[in-house]
Structure 1
């Protein structure tokens, strides 16, 4: 079968199309013919060996696939690598069946990005109806779903931040109450203005760096800042305990990979979101589909922030 392999560390240029042996299923596993594989920002870190987990060469990237089994079942699930390929092996306990009304791209958007958005709001921030929520990078895969889920969970005001007017308009179209520029300079003032001059209850941030520094300053009493990435590739200023005390603040880290290994963290929220999507209540944004051979271009586009929503590879 054809697959994308990484044999040396680096940027998008290390993604190489190769022929490899077909995968073989073990006990409790199914081989699927991959109709689409998900692309995540984390994949760009893995080719550089800068992700939270270490990279061992050579490897086939990709942790999300949707495809059909030999008996015709259409499955969506997580794989421990190997997704950028024409075939992949899915463990039965990390896969669910996809409703016919949900497209491949929509289904893949609900895996890492959708489950991240769900858990950021429900599990980490513990959102309460009526609270104000700021979602940084609101036009991205996680952000675009977090905007919709925050409204569905009863947020009183959803404030989206994004880098361009087009991305801010997308967030508004998805249900955000207001959208502002996410540039660090003036971030805190723009967010407070968007919340009628008041501080906010929750901030979801994947940027880190100076944006995270600014976000901490806009939290209200008992506010929660959930950090789940470092897209800026710049560390934030270290937080001192005294910075948190006067407003009873919480800074919470979230990484989806170990979370989904816990009981009840995978199937239940994923099936809920698939059903919401099939009903038209949730609208996952598919930002672009790339042939398998153009995986390098996909990584270049995501690193250049030319994309919105979920990016997918179509191996077959």
Structure 2
């Protein structure tokens, strides 16, 4: 029986539940392929999965990790793939064929992984928000994996003004470097007023929000009539309730977006990913790689991610 190194958890909880172990190499089932993983991607959702507090229920024992880059064992082709939410923090992963995509020549693992779940999320946020030419867009956490790509896509998708939020001066500087017209502190105290000032005193048309809690409320307060807000995360772990009267008073739209619902729509995903690769190849999209951790440091990677110490795409090198 072949074995592999993997990060596994047999309980839900803090980073301490993540353990480096030796376990059997998974056997691909019908419609699946086995990938020898070179690099695994980290996403904020991994921290929720670890606690079983995510949209999708988790089951133990669990190998975390929703995305991998590596080589198909049956064809030798370099690919990037979505695991469906678990199985990525390991030297091998069994994935569905329709969630597996070839990596174009000249594209490295970091770029391929950044453009997979996080890049697709950024692309689909604009698609789902129906952003019109000249509209103002706010990207909460604009220096993160999704945010750094959403900031860059703003003007390319027709936005007239892109406003980013970020927690530190360095992160705000990165947002401006990536193409944001303005960047402000993410702190909820006074956030509505700061967003309005960043938009020349006017309310905004679209907000991409992933924090929840007070940040959600402040962003909602900054929306113009017929404004749209897409909530695609709850990093604060503070859920919100929206009253219908508040929506009616300004004809607002609040939408939820969970990338997991895209997994069974490979056609939609493939077309968007092809577009992202083309933009990156043309130099119109820059992937920000924050850090690469060895597999042995998966705990620390999740700690740093949850503590907002990172920016851009985080990776695990499974060979170390």
Partner residue of 1:226?
Answer: 230
Shift of residue 232 of structure 1?
1.2
What TM-score does the superposition give when structure 1 sets the normalisation length?
Answer: 0.97
Moved more, 86-95 or 131-140: 86-95
- Number of residues of Structure 1 aligned to a counterpart in Structure 2: 314
Partner residue of 1:272?
Answer: 275
Shift of residue 53 of structure 1?
1.5
Partner residue of 2:146?
Answer: 142
Alignment equivalent of 2:250, drawn from 247, 256, 260: 247
Shift of residue 263 of structure 1?
5.4
Measure, in 2, the Cα distance between the counterparts of 1:199 and 1:267. 35
1:35 aligns with 2:38: yes
Query: How does 1:81-96 map onto structure 2 within 5 Å?
Result: 81-96=86-101
- Inter-CA distance 239–145: structure 2 relative to 1 (3 Å threshold): same
Measure, in 1, the Cα distance between the counterparts of 2:122 and 2:59. 28
What TM-score does the superposition give when structure 2 sets the normalisation length?
Answer: 0.95
Shift of residue 158 of structure 1?
0.1
Partner residue of 1:182?
Answer: 186
Q: Deviations over 1:64-112 (max 9, x none)?
A: 0010123321001101311100011232211111112222111111121
Q: Deviations over 1:174-201 (max 9, x none)?
A: 1001101111111011110111100100
Measure, in 2, the Cα distance between the counterparts of 1:47 and 1:91. 22
Measure, in 1, the Cα distance between the counterparts of 2:254 and 2:318. 40
Alignment equivalent of 1:106, drawn from 111, 134, 137: 111
Alignment equivalent of 2:127, drawn from 122, 125, 128: 122
Note the residue ranges of structure 1 that are not aligned, 5 or more in a row. none
Measure, in 1, the Cα distance between the counterparts of 2:303 and 2:271. 34
Alignment equivalent of 1:311, drawn from 283, 304, 314: 314
1:169 aligns with 2:173: yes
Note the residue ranges of structure 2 that are not aligned, 5 or more in a row. none
